[in-house]
Structure 1
Amino acid sequence: MTGWIIAFALAGVTLIALMLIGRIPRSTREITAGALLIGLAGYAWQGNPGLAGSPRSVKADIAFDEKLAEQRRGLAERYGPAGQWLVMSDSFGRRGQTKDAANILIAGLRQTPEDANLWLGLGNALMAHADGALSPSADFAFRRALTIEPEGPAPRYFYGLALASSGQLQAARDLWAPLAASAPKDSKIKAELDANIARIDAMLAGSDPASR
């Protein structure tokens, strides 16, 4: 319980300090609070507040998903501020330093908080840090990207991928179906989406007794 009290107290003190001492603009207070919530969500997901402190070193053994990064570059990245942060984040991810990969993107979001590509990259980085699980903080990042670019192909594609991998098949289908319908005919992405949707439909039908 003490761990939770300390975590919330630190978050509150940090926000107040940023507002009073850092004098952050009113327009950025929401994103600052959101960043603190990401930290608390990550603590809730990964932390063990009831355990005594016991520093130890853990060797990272997480494979960097080059195929996923390549898909992201094809769908989302453009020349601009987001590109450099994503490249730096990927370099940490390749070395298994998933926490640093996520922190790089958080730093980028402090400069450009309305960049959907950075939020998208953060969602992917946080999933890698959680060994592929859709943690609350990763879900927040994907939703933020989707809010900024609701009709963008990248947020819908990658959030759908995250939802599908976490077993939320219907939610993934709801995102992918309109995207597949609007994708260029005979394109690689349309073929992939159609195949994924077909697999989801088969799994949903198999899990529904009324459809047997």
Structure 2
Amino acid sequence: MIWIIFSIIASVVFLTLAHSGMCRKTSNLSRRDSASAIYADQIGEVEKDLERGIISAEEAKAARAEIESRLKAIDRQSDGGEPMVGHSGRVLVLLAALTVPALGAGLYWQLGSPDIPSQPFAQRTGEQAEARKIADLAVRLRSRLEADETGGPTEGWVLLAQTYMRMGRFGEAADAFEVLLDRPDASSALVSQYGEALVYSEDGIVTPKAERAFDRALELDPSNPAATFYKAVGLEQAGSPDKAYDLLKTRMEAEEGFRPWMESFAAQLNRIAPSIGRAPVDLAALAPSIPGPTADQVAATEEMSDEDRQVFIRSMVERLANRMKENPSDLDGWMRLGNAYAVLGENENARNAYGKAQKLAENLSQTDPRKAEIARSLAELGA
């Protein structure tokens, strides 16, 4: 069906341009004819001014001579050239009418996805119904919270705000978080979530209001990685990439071991580094306790054959998988296992591991970098 529509559109455009090009020869005046008509009007105006006494006879004579010289100049420029210009213009129009649709179809065939089936209407209506259901639940939840004489429980407002974030209604999410800012139980994580909602509502810009939120979050907990990350983003946007780089790197170096959010920090650091002449960041060097083989194990693998080395690596992954069966609530462990399977090329097992991590991460704040890392990994695995 899409090719039929494209063909009809291309045909209509071609016929319209072709008709315009073919008819232009008889409908348009030549440059000389147009100029003659204009200059004839100007000479008539000169004669009228002379009759009314506005100009003298000498001035009228000079004006007529000037107009006639301009007309002669037009004659010299247009002799022999006009038919060729009109013909070439029509040829270009017709060529464009033919080649543009052809090139567009070729590009779509190479870069588009003509073989992907259209989404069933019933499925689209189902998604729309689900979205309306969530929106209705959010409205009812907000009504109950606002009607609560005590102001509504903090957990309820957080749930409402996070629901708005998932719906893409970032301004309303920020309003819901803002209700909680003056409460005694307002934690650093909550304040940084408020700041993140403000950033999202401004299309990624860290406004002064958002910056104040991240400053307060860091006052409550200087180790808050999300607040540090967005604080660095704000510094870069304000024209201080060096300060942003130092802030991120200092925060990473303060950790004794690996944390999943470090990958997001390292990616941001390595994006900033080339513009300020800094060296790329080696995540393994900054976080030496990233789970992995020991130095002795690495040395042992150097003496192994490729087959033995693969068996050794797989045995380590299997031991990690067995540990995860004993401790299925270890979010970081599932992420490590998913990464290990991806390195081995076992994409299905990697997707399953990251899927378990994603379920465990559902209750995390939107600012936790692990959520973005899991989503990115699943996207790379085609999930």
TM-score (norm 2): 0.29
Q: Which has the larger radius of gyration?
A: 2
